[in-house]
């Protein structure tokens, strides 16, 4: 027995005309520039939406040393580089900066390093020897906690 057309389920909606491109498609479509300098392979990507990505790889090991992103600001000018992987570049002394208040150069610096076998977090500028610190994982809060074991300053105990 045939089902009347008013009882039949509606046809599926047509696919969207422009699907969001995948990361690989965006990477392939980007304009790329590469050079080798100071033992590093440096690759600059310019994406169709105006965003830029710069990566540096170690020539000998092939490991990613740094990855930075930059996009245009609201007025169309180039913005500042945002470091995703690697050490942030410190501004040279005397360089003109638009910020009047900056963080202390003696603060610890956290950075990410990706290798083929692991994701690593590195901390630079720690005020005490590494033996003074302990690292633990707080599973409920999904974070790593770094504590000092000495009596100087503010130490945290578990």
- Per residue in 11-37, pLDDT (tens digit) is 777 766 666 678 888 999 999 999 999
Do you know the residue count of the chain? 158
Specify the 3-state DSSP secondary structure of 15. coil
Using the predicted structure, report yes or no on whether residue 45 has a pLDDT greater than 90: yes
Mind listing the pLDDT tens digit for each residue in 114-144? 777 888 888 888 888 888 888 888 888 888 8
Using the predicted structure, report yes or no on whether residue 91 has a pLDDT greater than 90: no
> What confidence score (pLDDT) does residue 43 get?
94
Using the predicted structure, report yes or no on whether residue 52 has a pLDDT greater than 90: yes
Mind listing the pLDDT tens digit for each residue in 72-89? 887 777 888 888 888 776
> What confidence score (pLDDT) does residue 158 get?
39
Contacts of 64 (CB under 8 A, 6+ apart): 55, 56, 57, 85, 86, 113, 114, 115
Q: What are phi and psi of 65, to 5 degrees?
A: -95, -45
Using the predicted structure, report yes or no on whether residue 69 has a pLDDT greater than 80: yes
> What confidence score (pLDDT) does residue 152 get?
53
Percent of the chain surpassing pLDDT 70 = 76
């Amino acid at each position: 027995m045939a089902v009347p057309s008013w009882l039949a389920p509606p046809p599926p909606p047509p696919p969207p005309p422009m699907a969001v491109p995948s990361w690989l498609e965006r990477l392939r479509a980007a304009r790329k520039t590469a050079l080798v300098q100071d033992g590093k392979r440096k690759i600059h990507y310019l994406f169709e939406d105006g965003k830029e990505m710069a990566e540096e790889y170690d020539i000998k090991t092939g490991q990613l040393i740094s990855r930075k992103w930059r996009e245009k600001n609201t007025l169309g000018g180039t913005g500042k580089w945002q470091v995703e992987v690697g050490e942030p570049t410190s501004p040279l002394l005397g360089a003109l900066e638009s910020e009047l208040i900056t963080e202390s150069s003696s603060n610890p610096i956290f950075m990410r390093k990706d290798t083929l076998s692991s994701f690593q977090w590195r901390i630079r500028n720690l005020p005490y020897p590494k033996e003074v610190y302990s690292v633990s994982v707080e599973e409920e809060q999904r974070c790593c906690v770094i504590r000092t074991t000495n009596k100087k300053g503010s130490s945290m105990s578990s």
